[in-house]
Amino acid sequence: MRKKTRIFQPKLSWLAIPFALIFIAYFVVPLILTLIVSFWDYTEYSIIPDFIFGNYVYIFQGCFSFEDGLCLTFKTYISTFFFCFFTWLITLLLGFSVAYFLAFYVNSLPLQITLFLICTIPFWTSNVIRMVSWIPLLGRNGLVNETLISFGLIQEPIEWLLYSSFSVVLALVHLYTLFMIVPIFNSMLRIDKEVIEAAYDSGANQFQIITNVIIPLCKPGIIIGSIFVITVVMGDFLTIGIMGGQQLASIGKIINTEMNYLQLPGAAANSVILLLITIFIIIVMTKFIDIRKEL
């Protein structure tokens, strides 16, 4: 091996210090405080240091009797899971297809990069604008309905295009597909083309190559993309609020309302539960694959 001139090389762990500090100050400490506050008591105008489980009990009040149907918390989580699942499924299919096309059908690197950058163009405007721009399109008197009516395909405007679960999932997919494309594309680029050639030479067809070679090798990308999408959707309340016409429940909205009414310990308790559930989902997902090993 060629001998390198030795420049100052701090221990690798030192390099992690700046980020570790930021991480501790802006993530770990607030998280611990949230956890602490979730056990406090509160009134309309103050919060009182205490150690009570009341906030948690309140969240699950009536949840295990099933007398009046499902309780608020269960209903809300089911609704949130619903959005989460469909958004995840659709972004995964779309993200995988786009990444697959970019990685294996586009041969020149400059073109790959160009096309990839095109995928990011929507991110040049804000989240909210991308979301709100659907409203004139999907509304009762929107572009889609007016076009369909003028072609004589429908007589009455389709109401479920906007302020419905459909419009929420549509907007979420639109917003977050890129989060899926990026890590999957990254994984795909690292697949040795010779492996695919070997599979081809051994008589595998296109479909078998995808299922037996590419998908297993892309697993880390798929899992990372899934974690991005699922964590974002679990905590979302803006998209569900705006696209759902504020009529669909999301756990984020409940936390937001509680914060607005200064029920901070209640909001903290809800946040802790949301966090635990999200972490649980991620643990289950990482059971399928050890990301650290694969990276």
Partner 1 sequence: MKYKNLSTISRRKMLKLGAGTSAAAITALYAPSVISSDPITLRYLGTAVSMGDEVQKKLFEDTGLKVKFIAVTTDEVTKRVLTQPNSFDLVDTEYFSLPKLVPSGNILGMDTKRIKEWDNVTSIFTKGVTPSGKKVGLQGTAPSKVMYLEGSTGKKFANDVTQYATLIPTIYNADTLGIRPDLIGRPINSWAELLNPEFKGKAATLNIPSIGIMDAAMVVEAMGEYTYPDKGNMTKDEIDLTMKIFTEAKKAGQFRAFWTDFNESVNLMASGEVVIQSMWSPAITAVKSQGKDCVYQPLKEGYRAWAAGFALPKTTKGKTADAVYEFVNWYLSGWVGAYLNRQGYYSAVLPTAKQYMSEDEWGFWMEGKAAKGDILSPTGAKLASAGEKRDGGSYEDRMGGVACWNATMDENKYMVRKWNEMVAS
Of the candidates 143, 172, 173, the residue with the CA atom closest to the CA atom of residue 158: 143
Close Cβ partners of 143 (under 8 Å, ≥ 6 residues apart): 136, 137
Q: Where are the alpha helices (DSSP H) in 67-211?
A: 72-100, 109-120, 127-132, 135-138, 143-150, 165-189, 193-201, 206-208
Contact status, residue 177 vs residue 94, Cβ threshold 8 Å: yes
User: Can you tell me the distance from the alpha carbon of 227 to that of 179, in angstroms, rounded to the nearest whole number?
Assistant: 9
Q: Is 46 in the site for partner 1 (CB under 8 A)?
A: yes
User: Which of 7-15, 169-177, 187-195, 262-270 is the region at the interface with partner 1 (rule: CB under 8 A)?
Assistant: 262-270
Alpha carbons 53 and 36: distance in angstroms, whole number: 11
Residues 230-249, one symbol each (x = binds partner 1 by CB under 8 A, - = not), give -----------xx--xxxxx
| Least distance in angstroms from the C-beta of 260 to partner 1 | 4
CB nearer to partner 1: give 24 or 195.
24
Site mask, partner 1, residues 6-45, x = CB under 8 A? -------------------xx--xx--x---x---x-xxx
H/E element holding 3? none
Q: State the DSSP code for 123.
A: G
Quick check: 243 and 165 in contact, CB under 8 A?
no
Rounded to a whole number of angstroms, the minimum distance from the CB of residue 174 to partner 1 is 19
Which one of residues 87, 263, 271, 278 is an interface residue with partner 1 (CB under 8 A)?
263
Q: Which of 16, 50, 57, 143 binds partner 1 (CB under 8 A)?
A: 50
Q: Which residues within the stretch 120-149 sit at the binding site for partner 1 (CB under 8 A)? A: 135-136, 139-142
Q: Which residues bind partner 1 (CB under 8 A)?
A: 25-26, 29-30, 33, 37, 41, 43-50, 58, 72, 75-76, 79, 135-136, 139-142, 159, 162-163, 241-242, 245-249, 253-254, 257-258, 260-264
